[in-house]
Amino acid sequence: MSRLRTRDGDRERYFIQRRQTHSARSFASILAAVLVALICLYLMFEAAVKSIGQDVWIKSPEQWWAWLAALPHEASRGLVGAGSLVVLLLGLYFLFQGLLPGRKARRAIEIDRAIVIVDHEVLAATLARRARTEANVSPEQVVVAVAHGHVDVQVRPTSGIPVDAEAISAAVADELAENLIDPVPPVTVRVADTGVVGQ
């Protein structure tokens, strides 16, 4: 019984973490549903108008079908090109929404009794503080960018004072480990060629 509860708890924990770290597909689903509904409503309206003997609004469903079957000869090149581009962009959008993981700029920290979600901006600020302490520079001289697969640290040293890139990389990696980031992503430290005067 305890094993079953543990498995259910792990499954629930996984889904909570995934909900907080991955973007939902609701917008893409709503957009697709609205487009399909509008097309269907329009075709139903044209069919209803034709069935009561009134003039169609634009074209009847049969005329639309004949027009589509006669493409591209029955339409101007500009119209066909613009329509094809719109359909291509919509298709690529929905394809990428379905295939890409849709990760947010967040990551989960593994703690036994809680679920902790950290924004990459917050983590970057923490790492920047550690990097500038190690490099002995001002806050304006360090920029940290955190991604899912790596951490990029850019340092502008003070003129005349050397900076040890390996020590900064080790300090940032140690800060990641202390914050329970597992696995620790690779850290890249870039030191600018030109220093900052008067910092």
191: Cβ contacts below 8 Å, ≥ 6 apart: 155, 156, 157, 163, 165
Look up the domain containing 65 and give its range: 24-99
45 within some domain: yes
pLDDT tens-digit series, residues 91-126 = 888 888 777 766 777 787 777 777 778 888 889 999
State the pLDDT at residue 198. Answer: 58
Are residues 81 and 123 both part of a single domain? no
158 within some domain: yes
Q: Please state, rounded to an integer, the average pLDDT across all residues of the chain.
A: 80
pTM across the whole model: 0.57
pLDDT tens-digit series, residues 80-93 = 788 888 888 988 88
